[in-house]
Amino acid sequence: MYFAVISIFPEMFAAISHYGITGRAAQQGQVVIEGFNPRDYTTDNYRRVDERPYGGGPGMVMMAEPLAQAIAAAKASASARGCRTDAKYCPVVYLSPQGEKLGEAKVLQMAEFDGMILLCGRYEGIDERLLAQHVDFEISIGDYVLTGGELPAMVLMDSVIRRLPGVMGDDQSAVQDSFVDGLLDCPHYTKPTVYADVAIPEVLLSGHHAKIAEWRFVQQAQRTIVRRPDLWQAFTPSKQQLKWLQKAGVALEK
Ligand code: 9D3
């Protein structure tokens, strides 16, 4: 999968290109991450990418032209790398507080693209005419205020890259995780068996795989009920899970 990032701080993306599972995916060529700095597409001596807003007010606004040039360069590179540049296959995505809030369903959809061009804003925002002409959709990562779109772009890339076939070490379907099955994760324990005078739950040492699966599911359910009643509301237990919940005395009325 191809990622172009349009950012005045392209060096920030070392965090995702060089470390951990995403770093390995980049090294192995499963993903290509390429930065385009709008400053490189300016024509003035100061390499200005921002200007004062028409109508007044605080802060600065990113100018359209350098961003348009950077997007054009990104599309040319995407094409040269065999990525179809149609919005259907390689959309321009603006990371924006006004965007649709990112969730695992959207991540899974986005993992189907050939690539994407991620537009990262700084300052107060971007000239609306650039957005209207070039942006296919907008994504927010949540309702809190950040200083720019780079960290949200990396959050999006990380969540998409780990859904690509062959990126996670083991069989992906075998990797149990929160949100995929709609519940929070169970607690995890490793060596030593006693730490700070606290022993691990005995069932985990039993070697009884069915009992362990049951214990883990009940833990997931209990945590989800307390911490994320919204997720519990949307969860439909299987027959087996219903039996486990009844046995554990977990109330089912929602
Ligand atoms: C005065 C109005 N500004 C501050 C409230 C608006 C504003 C502009 C630019 C707020 C944040 C930003 C920078 N943030 C992003 O570019 C951003 C973001 C975020 O701040 N939170 C969650 N998701 C995202 S995606 C991009």
Ligand 1-lining residues (CB < 6 angstroms):
95-97, 121, 124-125, 140-142, 144-149, 152
Residue 185 included in any domain: no
204 lies in the same domain as 156? no
CA–chain centroid gap for 136, Å, is 18
d(CA 125, ligand 1 centre) in Å: 8
30: tokens are 């499963």
State the catalytic residues. 97, 124, 162, 177
93 lies in the same domain as 198? no
Residue 253 included in any domain: no
Query: For tokens 């099955």, what's the residue?
Result: 181
Q: Which helix (H) or strand (E) holds 161?
A: helix 150-161
Mutate to test the pocket of ligand 1, among 6, 139, 146, 159 (most ligand atoms within 8 A of CB): 146
Q: Of 161, 177, 204, which closes a domain? A: 161
69: tokens are 């040039």
* pLDDT above 70 (res 233): yes
Range of the domain at 206: 194-248
Could you read off the pLDDT of 170-189 as tens digits, one per residue? 766 556 566 668 999 999 99
Residues 221, 232: Cα–Cα separation, whole Å: 8
201 lies in the same domain as 154? no
Residues 26, 158: Cα–Cα separation, whole Å: 11
Q: Where are the alpha helices (DSSP H) in 32-149?
A: 64-80, 104-110, 128-134
State which ligand 1 atom lies nearest to the alpha carbon of 59: 1
Query: For tokens 């709008």, what's the residue?
Result: 38
Instruction: Determine which residue's CA is closest to atom 2 belonging to ligand 1.
Output: 124
143 lies in the same domain as 29? yes
Could you read off the pLDDT of 20-71 as tens digits, one per residue? 999 999 999 999 999 999 999 999 999 999 999 999 999 999 999 999 999 9
Residues in the chain: 254
State which ligand 1 atom lies nearest to the alpha carbon of 152: 25
Number of domains in the chain: 2
Residues 53, 60: Cα–Cα separation, whole Å: 6
Instruction: Kindly report whether the global pTM for this prediction surpasses the value 0.85.
Output: yes
Please state the rounded mean pLDDT for residues 93-103.
Answer: 98
Could you read off the pLDDT of 145-178 as tens digits, one per residue? 999 999 999 999 999 999 999 999 876 655 656 6
Residue 55 included in any domain: yes
